[in-house]
């Protein structure tokens, strides 16, 4: 069994962004098309549209540019509707 280290998710490294994209894909696979993803650490909410590969930001309490960076690296478009 391979254990991931904290720095395996450093999105400023090739390995970290790859791990983060893989994690995002796995997580989003559990959300239905048009469903919502809520991120407590930043108070951010996205409507997830798999059919268009678009994430619509509908709420954000604290800035967190890492979210958009990982979406973009995964080939998703982010629309800010806050």
Residue 75 lies in a domain: yes
Residue 3 lies in a domain: no
Q: Please give the pLDDT value at position 6.
A: 65
Residue 71 lies in a domain: yes
Residue 20 lies in a domain: yes
Per-residue pLDDT, averaged over 21-40, amounts to 97
Residue 1 lies in a domain: no
Q: Please give the pLDDT value at position 50.
A: 97
Q: Which domain holds residue 69?
A: 8-80
Per-residue pLDDT, averaged over 12-31, amounts to 95
Work out the mean pLDDT of the chain and round it to a whole number: 93
pLDDT over 70 (residue 2): no
Q: Which residues of 19-36 are buried (b: 16+ CB within 10 A; e: fewer)?
A: bbbeebeeebeeeeeeee
Contacts of 73 (CB under 8 A, 6+ apart): 11, 17, 20, 21
Residue 42 lies in a domain: yes
Residue 33 lies in a domain: yes
Residue 50 lies in a domain: yes
Number of domains in the chain: 1
């Amino acid at each position: 069994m391979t254990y991931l280290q904290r720095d395996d998710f450093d999105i400023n490294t090739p390995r970290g962004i790859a791990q983060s994209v893989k994690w995002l894909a796995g997580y989003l696979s559990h959300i239905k098309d048009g469903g919502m993803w809520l991120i407590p650490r930043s108070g951010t909410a996205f409507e997830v549209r798999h059919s268009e590969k678009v994430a619509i930001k509908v709420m954000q309490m604290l800035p967190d540019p890492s979210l958009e960076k990982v979406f973009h690296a995964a080939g998703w478009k982010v629309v800010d509707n806050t």
